[in-house]
Amino acid sequence: MDEAQAVIVGGGVAGASIAYHLTDLGWADVVLAERSDLTSGSTFHSAGLVGQLRSSVSLTRMMMYSVELYRRLQAETGVDPGWHEVGSLRLASSGERIEELQRLAGWGRTFGLPLEVVSTEEALDRFPLFDPRDVQGAAYLPTDGYVDPSGLTMALAEGARRRGCRILTGARATGMDVRDGRVRGVSFEGRDPIRTDVVVDAGGIFANQLGRMAGVEVPVVPFAHQYLLTEPVDGVHTGLPTLRDPDRLVYFRAEAGGGLVAGGYERSPAPWAWDEKGPPAGFNNELLPADWPRFEPLAEGCFGVIPAMQSAGVVRMINGPEAFTPDGEFILGESDVGGFFVAAGFCAHGIAGAGGVGKVMAEWIARGRPELDVWKMDLRRFGRHYRSRTYARDRACEVYATYYDIHYPGEERRAGRPLKMAPTYARLAGLGAEFGEKAGWERPNWFRTNEDERFEELRPRGWAGRHWSTAIPAEHLATRERAGLFDETSFAKIEVTGPDACQFLQRICANDVDVSSGRVVYTQLLNDRGGIECDLTATRLDPERYLLITGTAFGPHDLAWIRGEARPEDDVDVRDVTSSLACVALWGPRARDILSSTTQADVSNQGFLYMSQRDVVVGDVPCLALRVTYVGELGWELYPPTEFALRLWDVLVEAGRPFGLVPAGYRAIDSLRLEKGYRAWGADITPEETPLEAGLGFAVDMDKGEFTGRDALRRGADGPGKRLSCLVLADPRSVALGNEPVFAEGEVVGRVTSGGVGYTVGKSIAFAYLPTHLASAGRSLAVEVFGERVDAEVTPDPLYDPRGERIRS
């Protein structure tokens, strides 16, 4: 039987790039299998624009790498990818759009993206055809451009072929051989199967069908995406930058013959062949019929931007299907089936992303994980609910229809809600909960009943004040002064059981978890570079049973990470028990008074120690109680079996009445945790930072014996090069929201990881990694908030209760 180190299924730009990069890492025995010809899927009808600016640092870095690669491909492979580095302009037709561009420019500066905001006149000098009437300025990125999608794919394939990759066309994959949770091979129509331990699903709009052959759900949704090609327009030449007008939902580039390519993201998107059956098997080298009525609003947008287009005839309308995802981010990485990787769902950015996608995927396959933190693109971010095709479609529709909108911080998605609800949902709604959504869960952001006009003067300036309520400071202060009650049922809960549970967790956790039953340990789980993969509490329930609690959105990720670390000889069972336990957190100085009035258990400071767990009965409700906090106050997280949750909530609300208890939401938690210096995974701490850099050295036990990441930490033990620092902005109503650049003497020295207002300390707080020499308290810096430099100072961390007296009281 034929064998290969890896089989990549799908000969579009993504598959070719993965083959290129995998062979570049020394994997010579790679097969690229395409059922028709190379570039016969979405790649062949792409408009080819390459814009680097995207929603996350990692994705933008991937795009920046793509550009570097496209510049050098011809010299290396002899095949011209048709790269035109003409730059790009993004117009702003409103004050808010200018603010957005300024924010993006500041952000781009933190990792070397040469994006600048230019005047309308400067933009016109570069692209004299647009109508300047409503335009207030533009963002200019000189290193953007466009590429010939087929040329690019052929150049990448040629690079791979030269290093030994076998390229099979007419090779339709028809089945995956999966045994014992691992992929073992691929079968094809009319040709021998190939035995392999690595398969990459790079099937574009067919990625879901291919995934299902291995029992893997890949929630891509094909959408019909259109652009048109015009006859020559006066003044158009191939040196023009690409042009986007997000307020009119359209994009443009010049064509070789002097015509324009013009497309966009319409408000009424058209999902196509999105149901269980998926796209028809014979759909290759094909387009969909032009849909003129759907393009009409975009055509109007085009004429508004470039009036000369009105008199230019249309040569052709291209309507091609493209794989979108329910959250607008790529889908990359290894699935729950060992060795079965996915690279799909490029949301009309697959040409721009292909270079970076190939590099990330090759590292993932060959080295076990990519260099960049790509959690936002990780296949594992999707929970089980994305198996619903209608849910996936509705979420993807919303992303598509609002693609060019300004997305304000704190904005909530609407599609497919409500889906996952705690048993208290109706009660919380009755209390005026303003729900937000995380990983499908409805969670109260704040309660309208707590709104208090007196706090209006605290409303943050600008964007940060948009999705904001006076209830947030009210709930924050009530928790600090009296008590707050939080429904945290959505927390992800993982149980690790078995004779080897302790030694297994000791091997993968940085802290010492070999503690007596009833102790709670805060720990990180590290990769072998020492980067933080998971951040959670581990509670030893019994000698052979641990309960791990992690963030709402991180359950699938943490579960996959922990399972992935288990060796065949480990006698452990790792199970998601999220649905079996609800969680109600009671925090604040009156928490003990409230709890003790509802239970016979000893909840005194000595009877129930900080960071310990006991089984208690609250009212008539049996709960697992953990004395832990994410807000920096005395209190407990109470975990009853789910069916008791509503009763538990009611009992505590009633008991709390004389003590001034308030129901409180997640936005208050975020403000409380910021001033207490608690880190948020995915923002302040990621797989790219170590606990030492993150100021979490106290949660690492270097003396407990070997654990993953220990060697890397030891190498960096004589002092990390950067350090997560707490900054306070001089203006308390100027709020950094994350990603703003931090300056020292005019130079960018860091980027805000998360920020907000601490209502007890009365300060605008921002966390940022700074070079160690700048990370000392008292150091003066500046943070650029919407183009304005605001003075800031490094302060001792945490700002609130630095000795932790309140949590131990």
Task: Name the minimum Å distance from CB 538 to ligand FAD.
Answer: 39
Give me the active site residues, please: 225, 251, 535
Q: How far is the CB of 489 from ligand FAD (least distance, A)?
A: 37
What is Dmax (Cα atoms) for the chain? Answer: 84
Question: CB of 562 within 8 A of CB of 556?
Answer: no
Using the minimum distance from each CB to ligand FAD, give the nearer residue, 272 or 630.
Answer: 272
Residues within the interface to ligand FAD (CB under 6 A): 9-15, 33-36, 40-43, 45-49, 172-173, 202-206, 210, 225, 227, 284, 318, 320, 322, 344, 346, 348-352
Report in angstroms how near the CB of residue 76 gets to ligand FAD at its nearest: 20
Decide whether 33 or 362 has the Cβ nearer to ligand FAD. 33
Helix axes 57-77, 350-367, angle to 10 degrees: 90
What are the structure tokens assigned to 234, written together? 């006066």
Given the DSSP bridges, would you call strands 484-487 and 662-663 parallel, antiparallel or unpaired? parallel
The secondary structure of residue 158, as a DSSP letter, is H
On whether the CB atoms of residues 723 and 695 are closer than 8 A, the answer is yes
**Among the listed residues 128, 127, 142, the one whose alpha carbon sits nearest the alpha carbon of residue 84:** 142
Least distance (Å) from ligand FAD to the CB of residue 306?
A: 17
Looking up tokens 């009409």, which residue turns up?
A: 296
- The residue assigned the tokens 């980027």 is 751
How many other C-beta atoms lie within 10 A of the C-beta of residue 81? 22
How near is the Cβ of 379 to ligand FAD at its closest, in Å? Answer: 14
Query: Residues of 160-185 as b/e, b for ≥16 C-beta within 10 angstroms?
Result: bbebebbbbeebbbbebbbeeeebbb
- 769 contacts: CB under 8 Å, gap ≥ 6: 689, 693, 722, 723, 724, 725, 750, 751, 753
Q: Minimum CB separation from ligand FAD for residue 210, in Å?
A: 6
Q: Which is nearer to ligand FAD, 130 or 188 (CB)?
A: 188
Nearer to ligand FAD, 228 or 624 (CB): 228
- Comparison of 343 and 807: residue with beta carbon closer to ligand FAD: 343
Q: Which of residues 202 and 752 has its CB atom nearest to ligand FAD in the complex?
A: 202
Under 8 Å between Cβ of 167 and 16? no
Q: How far is CA 713 from CA 290, 314, 701, 759, in A?
A: 57, 61, 11, 35
Which alpha helices (H) appear in 509-644, and where do they start and end? 555-565, 591-596
Complex with ligand FAD: residue 107 or 251, whichever CB lies closer: 251
- Find the shortest distance in angstroms from Cβ 274 to ligand FAD: 15
CA 793 to chain centre: 29
399 Cβ contact partners less than 8 Å away, ≥ 6 residues apart = 324, 325, 326, 327, 328, 347
Phi, psi of 694 (to 5 degrees): -85, 5
Residue 267 CB, shortest distance to ligand FAD, in Å, is 17
* CB-nearer residue toward ligand FAD: 45 or 84: 45
